[in-house]
Chains A and B, each alone.
Chain A
């Protein structure tokens, strides 16, 4: 029992990181029906920005986090403006290839600046608490609470604010939104800024929780977050959160009961099987697509 509880806690930690990244995929998809395959690499950039902030600028946790989120958000907006926007009317595959290209660029640009894996200095005082055999660290609590806080904030923005309303309207029918007096391009920029900044925050937390960061760290994590978004129903915000926690849970369970080499194979198999039964994901609905 304590073993299971301990694993559940680990699943929650991993799941919240997947969920945060998955939100970026799903938000961009919701508004542009495009998969931003560079998103995993933006997560990586978030970790490196935190490394720079903590190591060279000697900033503490909160300023480092904010700086990383802001930096990644800015990068996301610039990428959208320069790389994706010119391709909005182009065939879907051009946008996908461009996104992959942007991702490879980010990996290699980072590699050129930081050829060796780095280590983010411990920004959080390390403490351990134990409750009936289940131990939890200060970092774990921070990751879980901060992720949940960010998700609540996002949910509020999407459901309660004008910008959120505009995002939802764009995902329904982009051609009508300008007639409401809404500047669509600005809403798209804001969506990229929010979605990528969440990925940046995930990068910071991941970088604090795991020993080293390297320019390729975003690839596998990015794919898994993407799976989470699809599992939850791509384009659906709450679905991405649920999908992230499900995938975190599946991985931890596999690692707990099976050889750890099985982990990714099972995670991806899970996606395939789920999609056979629920092609639109858990919360996704077939959307009456307008032409």
Chain B
């Protein structure tokens, strides 16, 4: 695959919860090796888009990963295809140790030697997790939980990582660290689809971005274009 190949193509994606239409036919794509970000305010439909890609909720429209149609594939099948998600609020299992949280994400993987290598990689990226290996997930600080959530997504060894507001609730310095790590992970070959309210940080590391407002994409462009766009400045970057 060359670097400009489309890895994920979302076409006319519509998601409804009962009568509420959370996504009203959005289309975007993510090329292999890119970081693409979806930004938008509360309730814009960002999480719904990621949930649809991960197979957690029914949708209409089309989602293609490579040339695979993702409709009707159950969530565990989507992970097997190579898409890992860091969910909103991190979703750490508080009753499992840090090590177990990571290990659970290797459910699909058979090659023990490679799994061991990935443990090393994750502990290399986040030495703090190694120190707290046997501690319960629920006892970690917010920042550590976020590291664990990202580490877990790495353990499933996907080609693509979806992240739902990784900066949520973190101090600015931690946010910078996390985004720095994401850029590193991306450099090492993982394609990233990043959902954020922290538009400034997200657009900084993203090659491209889409702005979501009440279920529709109202703007899209390269990260730099969007950062310079007056409308974005006013609405998302605090003037």
Residues of A bordering B, CB below 8 Å: 162, 165-166, 168-169, 171-173, 175-184, 288
Contact = CB atoms under 8 A, between A and B. Distances in A.
B103 to A, nearest CB: 7
Nearest to B105: A180
Interface string B124-154: 0000000000000000000000000000100
A172 B100 CA distance: 13
- 10 A-B pairs closest in CB distance: A181-B79, A178-B75, A176-B91, A181-B108, A183-B76, A169-B93, A172-B93, A180-B105, A181-B107, A182-B107
Contacts, number: 65
Given A173-B93, A180-B105, A181-B76, 10 more contacts: A162-B107, A168-B96, A169-B95, A169-B104, A172-B95, A173-B91, A175-B56, A179-B75, A179-B85, A182-B104
B96 A165 contact: yes
A177 B100 CA distance: 13
Nearest to B86: A179
Nearest to A162: B107
B73 to A, nearest CB: 11
A172 B87 CA distance: 15
Contact of A182 (B76, B84, B100): B76
Interface string B76-106: 1001100011010001011110001001110
Contacts of B167: none
A173 B137 CA distance: 13
Contacts of B55: 178
Contacts of B104: 162, 165-166, 169, 177, 180, 182
A168 B103 CA distance: 13
29 contacts: A162-B103, A162-B107, A166-B107, A168-B95, A169-B96, A171-B95, A172-B93, A172-B96, A173-B91, A173-B93, A176-B87, A176-B91, A176-B93, A178-B54, A178-B55, A178-B56, A179-B79, A179-B87, A179-B91, A180-B104, A180-B152, A181-B79, A181-B80, A181-B105, A182-B76, A182-B104, A182-B107, A183-B76, A184-B76
A178 B95 contact: no
A168 B76 CA distance: 17
A171 B94 CA distance: 10
Contacts of A288: 94
Decide if the interface of chain B is mainly helix, strand, loop or mixed. loop
A180 B107 contact: yes
A8 B2 CA distance: 73
B190 interface: no
B76 A172 contact: no
Contacts of B108: 181
Contacts of B43: none
Contacts of B107: 162, 166, 180-182
Contacts of A181: 76, 79-80, 105, 107-108, 156
Nearest to B91: A176
Nearest to A183: B76
Contact of A172 (B56, B80, B94): B94
A263 to B, nearest CB: 36
A182 B91 CA distance: 14
A83 B80 CA distance: 30
A162 B55 CA distance: 23
B169 interface: no
A182 B103 CA distance: 11
B189 interface: no
A281 to B, nearest CB: 16
A32 to B, nearest CB: 16
A58 B156 CA distance: 50
B74 interface: yes
Contacts of A178: 54-56, 74-76, 79
A171 to B, nearest CB: 7
A172 B74 CA distance: 21
Most buried by A among B95, B104, B105: B104
A182 B84 CA distance: 12
A272 B87 CA distance: 41
B28 to A, nearest CB: 21
Contacts of A176: 87, 91, 93
A178 B108 CA distance: 11
A162 B100 CA distance: 9
A179 B84 contact: yes
